[in-house]
């Protein structure tokens, strides 16, 4: 417990806002040192591949020489801006850890390192080499998950593709529930194009892009399907240039979330085939499907395995939950690779002022990750 907390503390006390590449690079150094020294202590290679893509630093530890079997997946960037440590310093009081990114998801990185080293030490005691025991395990810690994994998506997918299991160390759901469903996300910009004219002198010569956009909004909103869990939410928009000009352009962004790929495709097709209402107006649609859903097909078997292992080990009953927000687990599930998410910290307040982690759960969660790694590795031997 003490080592887990002190490792988490070192990572939390290095601020890593996603949009500052230098801060993310500094954080990568700290994570490399924390995880690397634990791995070395346990007789494993500690030096990761450092993979910099468009200025963003990611780290990958590949244990053993064999094909990839288990991917432990996490991110070291956070949503917290510089200076957060001054207002939200690291602390542990009455079993509650606080500090920027503790819950999402720096404690999860410490868990991944300690789960692996626990197995390495166990192997050493049993007379095996740690490398042999953990052959096929990969730890990937990315640096831009909070921005939608723009630079790391291909790396995540490549690292997962041949695996039997992806274990995502993102924070747990309520009460420590693992996450078996995450909605897929799509994003669009719908732009209406009309024609400008003076609003006082000759408005009839204009084509009002704002009114065209209003029609589009009313066409888009009903694509939501509450029963299917599909939401379609127009979010941010702009209309026109000055107060006395018929607007030539107007645009809106639309956020779409869906539980199934079929629902994502239905909404995608409908948005792409919107047709203009006003004579002479045009509609242009950009964007599309970003993250596929993490659905039960990808997670159910691993979840059952985790629940069985938790019960056998006497760890409190492990619940599962479905959530709206996405993670890199969506990408790996989208490839059809079995994926279980939310194996990290138990607590709450992700991205919020009351972000916190319940420290009593950290050793059990770490043990559960270790048991899952071992179980997956052994199931093919
Ligand atoms: Zn996260």
Residue 213 has pLDDT above 90, yes or no: yes
Q: What residues contact 327, with CB distance under 8 A and at least 6 apart? A: 145, 168, 170, 179, 182, 294, 341
Kindly give the distance from the C-alpha atom of residue 18 to the centroid of ligand 1, in angstroms, as a whole number. Answer: 11
Distance 74 CA to ligand 1 centre (A): 7
Q: What is the pLDDT of residue 316?
A: 81
| Cα 246 to ligand 1 centre (Å) | 44
> How many Å lie between the centroid of ligand 1 and the Cα of residue 252?
27
- How far apart CA 300 and CA 181 sit, in angstroms, is 9
* Model confidence at 220: pLDDT above 90: yes
Q: What is the mean pLDDT of residues 302-317?
A: 94
The pLDDT of residue 214 is above 80: yes
**Beta partners for 185?**
257, 291
pLDDT reported for residue 66:
87
C-alpha 98 – ligand 1 centre gap (Å) = 16
Q: How many A from CA of 180 to the centre of ligand 1?
A: 15
Q: How far apart are CA 185 and CA 231, in angstroms?
A: 10
pLDDT of residue 344: 97
Q: Does position 380 have pLDDT exceeding 90, yes or no?
A: no
Task: Find the 145 Cα to ligand 1 centroid distance in Å.
Answer: 7
CA of 194 to the centre of ligand 1 (A): 41
Q: How far apart are CA 143 and CA 152, in angstroms?
A: 8
**Beta-carbon contacts of residue 258 (< 8 Å; ≥ 6 apart):** 183, 184, 186, 228, 229, 230, 231, 264, 267, 293
User: Ligand 1 centroid vs 117 CA: distance in angstroms?
Assistant: 23
Measured in angstroms, how far is the CA atom of residue 207 from the centroid of ligand 1?
45
Report the alpha-carbon distance of residue 187 to residue 268 in Å, rounded: 9
From ligand 1's centre to the CA of 245, what distance in Å?
Answer: 44
pLDDT(291) > 60:
yes
CB-side exposure of 184: number of CA atoms within 13 Å? 26
CA of 148 to the centre of ligand 1 (A): 10
Give the Cα separation of 193 and 217 in Å (integer).
Answer: 14
Distance 216 CA to ligand 1 centre (A): 34
Contacts of 125 (CB under 8 A, 6+ apart): none
Q: In 3D, which of 29, 20, 88 has the Cα closest to residue 56?
A: 20
pLDDT score recorded for residue 381 = 55
Q: What are phi and psi of 356, to 5 degrees?
A: -155, 160
| Distance in Å from the first CA to the final CA of the chain | 31
pLDDT band at 243; cut points 50, 70, 90: very high
What is the token pair recorded at 326?
A: 């996405």
Say how many Å lie between the CA of residue 234 and the centre of ligand 1: 24
Torsion of CA 332, 324, 345, 166, to 10 degrees: -10
Give the pLDDT confidence of 56-81 residue by residue, as tens digits. Answer: 999 999 998 889 999 999 999 999 99
Q: Could you read off the pLDDT of 76-108 as tens digits, one per residue? A: 999 999 999 999 999 999 999 999 999 999 999
**Tokens standing for 292?**
């596929």
- Tell me the CA–centroid distance for residue 351 and ligand 1, in Å: 9
How far lies 342's CA from each of 175, 320, 326, 339, in Å? 11, 9, 11, 10
What are the CA-CA distances from residue 317 to residues 7, 169, 182, 194 (Å)? 27, 18, 21, 59
What is the residue-averaged pLDDT of the chain?
96
Which residues make beta-bridge pairs with 140?
Answer: 60, 73
Band (325; pLDDT cuts 50, 70, 90)? confident
Q: What is the pTM of this model?
A: 0.88
Could you tell me which residues are beta bridge partners of residue 84? none
Query: Cα of 19 to ligand 1 centre, how many Å?
Result: 15
How far is ligand 1, taken at its centre, from the CA of residue 325, in Å? 10
Q: Please list all protein residues whose beta carbon sits less than 5 angstroms from ligand 1, which is an ion.
A: 104-105, 170
| Cα 350 to ligand 1 centre (Å) | 8
| CA dihedral for 190, 195, 196, 197, sign (positive or negative) | negative
User: Residue 296 contacts by C-beta under 8 Å, 6 or more apart in sequence?
Assistant: 180, 181
pLDDT band at 160 (very low <50, low <70, confident <90, very high): very high
User: Quick count: other Cβ atoms within 10 Å of Cβ 79?
Assistant: 19
Distance (angstroms) between ligand 1 centre and the Cα of 37 equals 24
Q: What's the 165 CA to ligand 1 centre distance in angstroms?
A: 19
Mean pLDDT, to the nearest integer, of 120-145? 96
């Amino acid at each position: 417990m003490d080592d887990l907390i002190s490792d988490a503390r070192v990572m939390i006390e290095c601020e890593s806002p996603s949009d500052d590449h230098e801060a993310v690079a500094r954080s990568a150094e700290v994570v490399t040192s924390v995880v690397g020294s634990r791995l070395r202590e346990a007789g494993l290679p500690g030096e990761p591949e450092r993979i910099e893509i468009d200025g963003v630093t990611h780290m990958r530890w590949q244990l053993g020489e064999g094909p990839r079997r288990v991917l432990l997946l996490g991110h070291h960037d956070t949503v917290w801006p510089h200076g957060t440590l001054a207002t939200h310093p690291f602390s542990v009081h009455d079993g509650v850890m606080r500090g920027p990114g503790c819950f999402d998801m720096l404690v999860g990185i410490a868990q991944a390192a300690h789960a692996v080293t626990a197995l390495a030490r166990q192997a050493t005691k049993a007379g095996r080499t740690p490398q042999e025991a953990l052959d096929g395990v990969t730890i990937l810690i990315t640096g831009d998950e909070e921005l939608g994994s723009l630079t790391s998506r291909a790396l995540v997918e490549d690292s997962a593709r041949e695996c039997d299991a992806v274990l995502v160390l993102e924070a747990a759901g309520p009460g420590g529930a693992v996450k078996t469903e995450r909605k897929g996300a799509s994003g669009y910009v719908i732009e209406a194009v009309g024609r400008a004219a003076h609003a006082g002198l000759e408005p009839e010569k204009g084509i009002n892009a704002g009114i065209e956009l209003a029609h589009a909004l009313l066409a888009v909103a009903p694509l939501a399907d509450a029963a299917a869990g599909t939401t379609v939410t127009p979010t941010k928009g702009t209309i026109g240039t000055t107060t006395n000009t018929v607007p030539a352009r107007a645009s809106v962004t639309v956020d779409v979330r869906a539980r199934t790929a079929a629902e994502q495709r239905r909404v995608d097709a409908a948005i792409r085939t919107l047709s203009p209402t006003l004579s002479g107006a045009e509609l242009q649609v950009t964007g599309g499907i970003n993250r596929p859903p993490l659905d039960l097909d990808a997670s159910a078997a691993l979840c059952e395995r985790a629940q069985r292992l938790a019960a056998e080990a006497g760890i409190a009953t492990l619940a599962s939950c479905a959530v709206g927000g996405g993670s890199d687990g969506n990408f790996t599930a989208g490839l059809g690779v079995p994926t279980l998410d939310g194996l990290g910290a138990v607590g709450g307040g992700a991205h919020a002022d009351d972000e916190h982690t319940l420290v009593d759960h950290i050793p059990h969660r770490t043990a559960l990750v270790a048991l899952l790694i071992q179980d997956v590795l052994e199931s093919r031997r």
